[in-house]
Copies of this chain bind each other. A is one copy, B any other.
Amino acid sequence: MTAPRRRRQPRQERSRATVERIVAAGRAVLIERGTEGLTTNHVAAAAGISPGSLYQYFGDKEAILDEVVTRYSDELEERVTGAFVATVAVRDPTEAVRRIVLALVDALAEHPALLRAVAQRMPRAGDDRRAAFARRVDALLTSTLVARSGGATRYPAGTVAWLVVRTVESLAVGFVLEDPPLGREEFADEVTALVLGYLARVLDPAP
């Protein structure tokens, strides 16, 4: 049996605030000290709380990290989704893709340290969170593709979406975390060219 992720449901307002403080502290420690420096004592100290209190609400250290990552993922997803939505009215595909790419880059660039910490966790096999996240974005893109192309695709849209999403994601992450040889605008232009070049080739019924 694994430890319970949550020990107690906070009932009073006070304890709900404590949970928030713990999560915020976890995020802060992750940003300041990285994955290595994320110890329960550090988190407790940063939250202005005793180590024991952590375990009132979280089964173990991992559960805290999980919560932090989940919220961060949700935040990112919200912004990306927002960019998609804000873009449905944009006729020009180039402009649409460009905007989405920029939204992603900007979202990621807000907390490079957090992104780095999360990226380190990402490649885990059984990580449902990342998989679920990617799948939702896949679905988003898939439906967009189908809508824009009128359903006339040579390949299953899911496959195309998988490639495009991972391409854009990893390029954006790389752009934020490494020091790339191009600027933000230029990056967006290039990625847009990359994506559209591929989509044009793949979506057109007649190659």
Pick the residue among B120, B159, B202 that contacts A181 (CB under 8 A).
B159
A160 to B, closest residue via Cβ:
B190
Contact assessment for A171 and B163 in the assembled complex, using a CB-CB cutoff below 8 Å:
yes
Segment 102-160 of A: residues with Cβ below 8 Å from B: 116, 119-120, 123-125, 131, 134, 155-156, 158-160
A121 to B, closest residue via Cβ:
B120
Looking at chain A's contact residues, is the secondary structure mostly helix, strand, loop, or mixed? helix
Cβ of A72 under 8 Å from chain B: no
A13 proximity list for chain B (CB < 8 A): none
Interface residues of A, Cβ cutoff 8 Å to B: 116, 119-120, 123-125, 131, 134, 155-156, 158-160, 162-163, 166-167, 170-171, 173-174, 177-178, 180-182, 186, 190-191, 193-194, 197-198, 200-202
Q: List 26 contacting pairs A-B, 8 Å CB cutoff, sorted by A.
A: A116-B123, A116-B124, A116-B125, A119-B123, A120-B120, A120-B123, A123-B173, A158-B181, A159-B181, A159-B190, A162-B181, A163-B190, A163-B191, A166-B171, A167-B171, A170-B170, A170-B174, A190-B202, A193-B198, A194-B194, A194-B197, A197-B197, A197-B198, A197-B200, A197-B201, A198-B198
Beyond known contacts A167-B171, A170-B170, A198-B198: 19 more, CB 8 A cutoff? A116-B123, A116-B125, A120-B120, A123-B173, A125-B177, A131-B178, A158-B181, A159-B190, A160-B190, A162-B180, A162-B181, A163-B191, A167-B170, A170-B171, A170-B174, A193-B198, A194-B194, A194-B197, A197-B198
